[in-house]
């Protein structure tokens, strides 16, 4: 499988990054192990998780995804070295002081993550959410300590807008601190305003790697949701509802037309569009079946013609709704 260079990190990553939010949510431990084994069998070696996954599930408290991954690594000796592992800090973990990007919490949170993951280092450590209660200098200084200690290999920012990322990069330069090397924005055929424009231009100009989340718009871009009736019984139904409008349907129509021309599925085309977008290194996507993983392989190999890219891009443009 052809890999992608991730900004200035030195990592060569899979063309699609596996989203570990499903571990301990829609997949239990045994199912997660099967999915992870299949992932490696298909040639995907890049996994994204976070300390807080999957705290939103009733009975969970956070750390479930990392814990499952750690058990999997422990049961598969030698495999950790073959995986590029991302995790995050900053979300509210429930206890006093257990959130945000302060030096004190980051230094504690990384050890908790490493313990759950049963590893001595994380390849890429993300600031999960902005924290305006601390300075960039404090956060980046904490990461500098972790880099020196070998607990992390590179740093990234998730959910940072242009103003925040550019000010963080400026602070890093002025203070001689490590700069963010990767951005993780919400970005897909429907949700585009947050990344396109000056934020994408900054990432391209500074060779900041970009791995997108909600790459399939919570499953909406799979094409299986075409009416409110289709949302019933879906664990992601509440997240998909906002896409059920004229623009969303125009995107699904364009996806279906391109998919039919390639003998592909709409989800495969949606991921192929992201892979081909200027400024994007790789989309993050989750799967709960081997069939979906096989779709990732097809998406990674799919080459869209210029007119197909244009048709998809125009269908998803905000003005298409007017």
Q: Determine the pLDDT at residue 154.
A: 98
Residue 267 buriedness (CB in 10 A; 0-12 / 13-18 / 19+): buried
Q: Which residue has the tokens 């807080």?
A: 52
Q: Determine the pLDDT at residue 321.
A: 41
pLDDT by residue, tens only, the chain of 322 residues: 899 999 999 999 999 999 999 999 999 999 999 999 999 999 999 999 999 999 999 999 999 999 999 999 999 999 999 999 999 999 999 999 999 999 999 999 999 999 999 999 999 999 999 999 999 999 999 999 999 999 999 999 999 999 999 999 999 999 999 999 999 999 999 999 999 999 999 999 999 999 999 999 988 999 887 777 776 766 666 778 899 999 999 999 999 999 999 999 999 999 999 999 999 999 999 999 999 999 999 999 999 999 999 999 999 886 544 3
Compute how many other C-beta atoms are within 10 angstroms of the C-beta atom of residue 123: 20
Query: Would you give the distance in Å from CA 67 to the centre of its chain?
Result: 18
DSSP-based three-state secondary structure for 146:
helix
Tens-digit pLDDT profile for residues 170-208? 999 999 999 999 999 999 999 999 999 999 999 999 999
Q: Determine the pLDDT at residue 24.
A: 96
Q: Are 15 and 4 in contact (CB under 8 A)?
A: yes
Q: Determine the pLDDT at residue 316.
A: 87
Q: Are 296 and 285 in contact (CB under 8 A)?
A: yes
Q: Determine the pLDDT at residue 158.
A: 98
Give the burial string for 143-159 (b: 16+ CB within 10 Å, else e): bbebbeeebbbbbbbbb
Angle at alpha carbon of residue 114, lines to 111 and 118, rounded to 5°: 140
pTM: 0.95
Q: Determine the pLDDT at residue 241.
A: 86
Nearest to 124 by CA among 53, 63, 186, 211: 211
Residue 94 buriedness (CB in 10 A; 0-12 / 13-18 / 19+): exposed
Mean pLDDT of the chain: 95
Q: Determine the pLDDT at residue 233.
A: 66
């Amino acid at each position: 499988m052809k890999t992608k260079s991730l900004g200035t990190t030195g990592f060569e990553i899979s063309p699609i990054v596996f989203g570990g939010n499903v571990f301990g949510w829609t997949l239990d431990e045994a199912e997660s192990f099967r999915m992870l084994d299949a992932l490696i069998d298909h040639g995907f070696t890049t996994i994204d998780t976070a300390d807080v996954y999957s705290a939103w599930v009733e009975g969970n408290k956070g750390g479930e995804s990392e814990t499952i991954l750690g058990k999997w690594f422990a049961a598969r000796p030698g495999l950790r070295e073959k995986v590029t592992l991302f995790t995050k800090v900053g979300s509210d973990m429930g206890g006093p002081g257990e959130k945000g990007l302060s030096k004190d919490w980051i230094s504690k949170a990384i050890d908790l993550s490493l313990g759950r993951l049963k590893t001595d280092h994380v390849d890429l450590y993300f600031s999960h959410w902005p924290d305006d209660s601390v300075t960039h200098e404090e956060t980046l200084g904490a990461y500098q300590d972790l880099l020196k200690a070998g607990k992390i290999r590179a740093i990234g920012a998730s959910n940072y807008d242009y103003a925040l990322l550019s000010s963080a990069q400026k602070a890093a330069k002025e203070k001689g601190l490590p700069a963010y090397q990767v951005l993780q924005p919400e970005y897909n055929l429907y949700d585009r305003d947050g990344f396109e424009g000056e934020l994408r231009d900054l990432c391209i100009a500074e060779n900041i790697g970009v791995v997108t989340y909600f790459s399939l718009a919570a499953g909406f871009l799979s094409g299986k949701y075409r009416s409110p009736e289709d949302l019933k019984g879906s664990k992601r139904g509440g997240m998909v509802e906002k896409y059920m409008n004229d623009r969303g349907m125009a995107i699904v129509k364009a996806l279906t037309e391109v998919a039919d021309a390639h003998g592909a599925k709409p989800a495969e085309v949606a991921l192929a569009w992201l892979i081909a977008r200027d400024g994007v290194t790789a989309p993050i996507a989750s799967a709960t079946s081997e069939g979906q993983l096989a779709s990732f392989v097809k998406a990674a190999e799919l080459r869209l013609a210029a007119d197909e890219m244009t048709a998809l891009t125009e269908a998803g443009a905000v003005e298409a709704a007017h």
